[in-house]
A and B are shown apart, each in its own frame.
Chain A
Amino acid sequence: MLEQIDLSTVNWARAQFALTAMYHWLFVPLTLGLTFLCAFFETIYVKTGNEEWKELTKFWMKLFGINFAIGVATGIILEFEFGTNWANYSWMVGDIFGAPLAIEGIVAFFLEATFFAVMFFGWNRVSKGFHLLSTWMVAIGSNLSALWILVANGWMQFPTGMAFNPDTARFEMQNFFDVVLSPYAISKFTHATTSGFALSSFFVIAVSSYYLARQRHVKMAKRSIAVASVFGLIASLMVAFTGDEAAFIDGKHQPMKLAAMEGLWDGQKNAPIVAFGIVNGMKEPGDFQDPFVVEFKIPGLLSLLANRQAGSFVPGINDLVFGNKDYNITGVTDMIEKGKLAVKYLAEYKAAKKAGDLTKASSALALFNQYKDFLGYGHLDSPKEAVPPVSITFYSFHLMAAVGTGMILIFLLYLFFTAKGTIERNTWLYPIGILFFVLAYIAGEAGWVVAEVGRQPWAIQGLLPVKVARTDIAPVNVKLTFFMFLITFTLLLIAEIKIMLKQIQIGPKEVK
């Protein structure tokens, strides 16, 4: 019974973190991309001196400002949750996260406080060049600000550049650049920011399509679509490229996540990608049930994605749980044994140190160091615990990939008809453009679900499971704050949508 209560608390804490992060991610991607679009629009204004471009820039800047104002500080709540719901975890990673989060705070404060003000208050009060510089600095600063958070997240997926200190029970940074330049940090940053660029481009396209459909602000809408479709097309191609890179590094460092993303239970050579499938949600490791109710596969693609080698072997969930000697894969079963040894030797080290027996402490520490990479596995009760929720991971990944592919096509269509000068005649495209703005949001959230649900049960990959990371607090506390956030954030979202829609209804100032 106590176990159930614990599970309930950890799941409420997980749900609360997911809720906060997902709401935060409603505001962030639009900020990341819209700043660059404003910078592009203003650059054209400064180059051409055409006042219509200035009014166009000011209009999109106003919508950016609304999103920024409503979204600002929604991410700080995640840090509160660390201290309250995830205190053990916070203690263990404080040394690693301190530097990136401090840099994020400083960069965000100075860039945003300085250049943000010039961007909004500086029209006609500073030179055109300085104003343009400020807009670019806000764009760069906002994206750099995101970098540090994503570095921290990347480290949780792939802990590197650190050493575990058994005396303080903390992970301590050994090499800042290993942390910042880890493949996961780079992948997270590039994939997340480019997806934000694509989403923001759809925002501009959706609003502009609305104007075209209503025959309002036609010139401004066509100009906005021209810039957004180019930016969006480049961004969506980058999303595909960085997504491929993300899957490749998952294959190397988080193979369980990749297997769950594709619902691959038994590893195989020339492994297929499931283009479409309905997952058998009842399947468990080691059983003989079919993994899918329905599936449509494309042979060989997963081998290419995971290894960049045609026909190569990709391990499935069963290989990773039980091991596969033919392919030299150590299973979770073995890792749990090694993890238990890590825990045992750590306990011996602590006890010997407390007793003042330095010889015994030194020998226990040497043995602990042999197994320390498996520390987290020592806390798993069964190998099945190392398998993430397959259905959620599979569907989220496929939804994200499908929308991502569709985005490229829609940007291409907008660009094609804009270049041809027939965008006004192809009214059928407008509802699709508006729909894809919503879908881009869903795909972005789904991407985070893949990244985070797909790496369960780990708070820090392989080293710390969430059940150890969490704080022991009563479930009712977490439930209460969960609903408080739900209400607060929903009100903020309603406020944003209402203010945004009103401003869109008013539209940009027409230049006579």
Chain B
Amino acid sequence: MHSITGSGKGLPGKIVEFYVQGMKSMGLGKTLWKIIAIKLFIIFFVFRLFFFPDMFDRFFHSDAEKAEHVSQLLVSPGLTTQGINQEQISQQRR
């Protein structure tokens, strides 16, 4: 029995060895890790980078601008957000 506390290494070394040995002894786990890696790549690299930008960070440069934009929406019921967005963004750009 390999013990996490029984070898001559220091604690960090034992913990690393514990994980390394555990990874090496995996059977089905290796397949699952591959699936996790592919999934995380798709989620964080493909989806996040190319399809899910933070819209406020893209269009506004400060919290004050973001607050102003949302305030405009809150005080203008019935107006489409599209109209407000475009008008406000072009105002800010000017």
- A84-B54 contact, Cβ under 8 Å, with A70-B35, A470-B81: yes
Closest B residue by C-beta to A474: B82
Closest approach, in angstroms, between the C-beta of B91 and any C-beta of chain A? 13
Question: A66 within 8 Å of B by Cβ?
Answer: yes
Closest A residue by C-beta to B85: A472
Residue from B4, B28, B77 within 8 A of A343 (CB atoms): B77
Q: Chain A residues near B52 (CB, 8 Å)?
A: 77, 80-81, 83-84, 481
Query: B70 near A80 (CB under 8 angstroms)?
Result: no
Closest approach, in angstroms, between the C-beta of B60 and any C-beta of chain A? 9
B28-70 interface with A by 8 A CB criterion: 28-29, 31-33, 35-36, 39-40, 42-43, 47-48, 51-57, 63, 66-67, 69-70
Residue from A6, A62, A375, A471 within 8 A of B80 (CB atoms): A6
Query: A499 near B31 (CB under 8 angstroms)?
Result: yes
Residue from B18, B31, B32, B56 within 8 A of A117 (CB atoms): B18
Would you give the 0/1 interface string for A69-113, flagging 1 where the beta carbon is closer than 8 Å to chain B? 110110011001101100110111000000000000000000000
Closest B residue by C-beta to A168: B67
Query: B81 near A80 (CB under 8 angstroms)?
Result: no
- A73-B22 contact, Cβ under 8 Å, with A84-B53, A92-B70: no
Q: Chain A residues near B51 (CB, 8 Å)?
A: 84, 477, 480-481, 484
Q: Chain B residues near A338 (CB, 8 Å)?
A: none
Closest B residue by C-beta to A502: B28
Question: A462 within 8 Å of B by Cβ?
Answer: no
Query: B35 near A169 (CB under 8 angstroms)?
Result: no
Question: B90 within 8 Å of A by Cβ?
Answer: no
Closest approach, in angstroms, between the C-beta of A105 and any C-beta of chain B? 15
- In the assembled complex, the Cα of A437 lies from the Cα of B82 at a distance in Å of 45
Would you give the 0/1 interface string for A440-470, flagging 1 where the beta carbon is closer than 8 Å to chain B? 0000000000000000000000000000101
Closest approach, in angstroms, between the C-beta of A374 and any C-beta of chain B? 12
Would you give the 0/1 interface string for A481-494, flagging 1 where the beta carbon is closer than 8 Å to chain B? 10010001000100
Residue from B42, B73, B82 within 8 A of A2 (CB atoms): B82
Query: A499 near B3 (CB under 8 angstroms)?
Result: no
Query: B74 near A346 (CB under 8 angstroms)?
Result: yes
Would you give the 0/1 interface string for A366-410, flagging 1 where the beta carbon is closer than 8 Å to chain B? 000000000100110100000000000000000000000000000
A contact residues, total (Cβ < 8 Å): 57
Question: A347 within 8 Å of B by Cβ?
Answer: yes
- In the assembled complex, the Cα of A488 lies from the Cα of B70 at a distance in Å of 33
Closest approach, in angstroms, between the C-beta of B50 and any C-beta of chain A? 10
Q: Chain A residues near B25 (CB, 8 Å)?
A: 121
- In the assembled complex, the Cα of A484 lies from the Cα of B48 at a distance in Å of 12
B contact residues, total (Cβ < 8 Å): 47
Q: Do most interface residues of chain A lie in helix, strand or loop, or is the interface mixed?
A: helix
Closest B residue by C-beta to A351: B75
Question: B94 within 8 Å of A by Cβ?
Answer: no
Query: B43 near A2 (CB under 8 angstroms)?
Result: no
Query: A350 near B56 (CB under 8 angstroms)?
Result: no
Q: Chain A residues near B36 (CB, 8 Å)?
A: 69, 72-73
Closest approach, in angstroms, between the C-beta of A349 and any C-beta of chain B? 9
Closest approach, in angstroms, between the C-beta of B77 and any C-beta of chain A? 4
Closest B residue by C-beta to A3: B80
Query: A121 near B71 (CB under 8 angstroms)?
Result: no
Query: A484 near B35 (CB under 8 angstroms)?
Result: no
Residue from A169, A473, A503 within 8 A of B67 (CB atoms): A169
Q: Chain A residues near B67 (CB, 8 Å)?
A: 91, 167-170
- A121-B47 contact, Cβ under 8 Å, with A87-B54, A378-B77: no
Closest approach, in angstroms, between the C-beta of B76 and any C-beta of chain A? 8
B7-23 interface with A by 8 A CB criterion: 18-19, 21-23
Closest approach, in angstroms, between the C-beta of B5 and any C-beta of chain A? 8
- A468-B74 contact, Cβ under 8 Å, with A2-B80, A120-B22, A121-B19: yes
Query: A343 near B82 (CB under 8 angstroms)?
Result: no
Question: B93 within 8 Å of A by Cβ?
Answer: no
A: residues with CB less than 8 A from B are 2-3, 5-6, 62, 65-66, 69-70, 72-73, 76-77, 80-81, 83-84, 87-88, 90-92, 117, 120-122, 124-126, 166-170, 340, 343, 346-347, 350, 375, 378-379, 381, 468, 470-473, 477, 480-481, 484, 488, 492, 495, 499, 503
Not counting A343-B74, A468-B77, a sample of 11 additional A-B residue pairs whose C-beta atoms are within 8 angstroms of each other reads: A65-B32, A73-B36, A73-B40, A80-B52, A88-B69, A91-B66, A122-B4, A126-B3, A169-B71, A340-B77, A346-B74
